Amino acid sequence: MNHTEPVSKVFYIAVYDITQPKRLAKALKTFRKYMNWVQNSAFEGELTARQFQDLKDELLKIINKEKDSVIFYHAEEQKHIGKKIIGIEKNEITQFY
């Protein structure tokens, strides 16, 4: 019998500040391949270690490390993160437990 280990995923929240419109457009396209958009300059989603590495590699080819910033927050399980919204929720795709 071939037992495969379940692929573990980590929940990430990404926030970014990209100063140039062309780089911003490329970064947005890249983020959308891997994560869910939640509002301006913020994405969230569960990624495997490979997906996270691929996302970082792609972003490093796009951003200017002297001018742009990307921050990733992470938790082993999404249910350990609380979420409070004041005002409108811009994207309701991701559900928190």
Residue type, position 48, single letter: T
Q: Which residues contact 8 (CB under 8 A, 6 or more apart)?
A: 48, 49
User: How far apart (Å, rounded) are the C-alpha atoms in residues 83 and 73?
Assistant: 14
User: Is 17 one of the annotated binding-site residues?
Assistant: yes
Binding residues for Mg(2+): 17
Binding residues: 17
